[in-house]
Structure formats: structure tokens, C-alpha cells
Amino acid sequence: MIFVVSILLLILYAFKIKDWKKNDHRLNPELSIYLKYLHYFTITITIVLLILELQIRGIWTGRIVTFIVLLSGIFYNLFAQKSVLNKLEKTYFSFLSILPLIFPLLLLIPFLGVVIVFSIIGRTISPFEKICYEDKNLRIQTSFVGVMAPPKILVYKKGLFFEKEVEDLYFPEEIDSLKVDYKKDSIYIHYWETNYDNQVVKSEIKIPQ
């Protein structure tokens, strides 16, 4: 069934891309240029922050920037004037327009393809599953890792405009409660979790101030 759906999605999207050329309701050249530079600006910010291992402060802010990058890139050829693009830019945006075809292709892989696709979609759409603790300096949350994996606990240290992931716990147990203590030179995060033996275990994370 998944194989049939994948083939149908591939065919449908391929025909839709072909029909994009017939779209008469496009942005004017000036707005097309603005959209192009909006894409370049947001993707540059995204790449720089990835290199610096930072993200814009706020749970949803980074996701909004990511959505702008994806939507402005994938659907540029549908809504904008290609006449404002040079040859390299036309190739670039044409490549982005076929990126969604990756998902039906992945679905052709038995079982693993479904896991990969839903994991990618889940991580893109949802920046967190649960906020365990938050104040003006820290945010502790559980985040979606993948369809077959339990949530991961992430600790973010907040700055004025950006925040940085300072700790992550892979394959954690379920957190029952936690407490944050601010000391002179460090931040101590105490949390209690129930392990697979149904025992409550206390753990501690130390973060430099």
C-alpha cells in the first residue's frame, strides 16, 4: 500500500511541478527579488547559527526561520518571476523545488522509509514535546528524536538574542520532577526519574555560569 501511495505521490508532484510554468498569478519582479533575498538572508542566518551551535532565542523562532527557508525555496518557482534569476539561481531554485520528491522515494524503502520520513517531519514541525522547566536563564525540555526513539532531554542556556544547547541526555527515562539551583559559578539541575525497574533515581547536571 505504501509503495502504491509513494508512486502516486511521485507522479502527482512531478506533474504539478510541470504545471507551475502555467501559473499566471505570480509576484511582480520587485516582490520576486524581495522573496529571493529573504530566502538568502534566512538560509544564511540558519547556516551561521548551525556553525556557531546557536539558535535564535525562543522556542518557535528558529522553526519560523526554517519554514521561511523551506517555503521560499521550494515554492519560489511557483509564485515568483524566474526572469529575476541568473542561470545559477535558476538551477538552485529548481533543485529546491524537487526536494519534496525525496519523501515519496524514501517511502519506497520498506519500514525504514516510513520511520525516516515521519522522524524528519516530526523534528521539523515540533521544536519540543514538553517544557520541564523554564526561567529567564534556562529552558529544559524534552524533544522529539524519532519515531523509534524516546524523547531527548535538552537544556538551553539563554542569552539576550540567542540561546545555546548546553546539555542533552540521550535515551532518558521519564522525568518525574526537577529542581534548579543557582550557585556562584555553576547551575545545578537535580532531576528525579523512574527507571525501567520502576525505581526513582536522582541525577544531577552541572552547567557553568
Question: What are residue 204's phi and psi, to 5 degrees?
Answer: -140, 140
Q: Report yes or no: 73 and 64 within 8 Å, Cβ to Cβ.
A: no
pLDDT at res. 67: 92
Cα 194 to its chain centre, rounded Å, is 29
- Residue 106 phi/psi, 5° resolution? -65, -35
The whole-model pTM stands at 0.79
**The predicted structure's pLDDT at residue 68:** 95
- Residue 19 and residue 123: Cα distance in Å, rounded? 31
- For residue 191, what is its C-alpha cell? 532531576
- Give the per-residue pLDDT at 36: 96
Predicted local confidence at residue 107, as pLDDT:
74
| pLDDT for residue 131 | 86
| Strand 162-169 with 186-194, pairing | unpaired
Q: What is the mean pLDDT of each run of 10 residues along the chain (209 residues)?
A: 59 67 80 96 95 90 92 89 92 89 78 80 79 88 75 86 83 70 86 72 78
Q: Residue 44 has what pLDDT?
A: 96
The confidence score (pLDDT) of residue 102 equals 81
What pLDDT score was predicted for residue 4? 61
Tell me the residue ranges of DSSP E strands in the chain: 55-56, 130-134, 138-143, 152-158, 162-169, 174-182, 186-194, 200-208
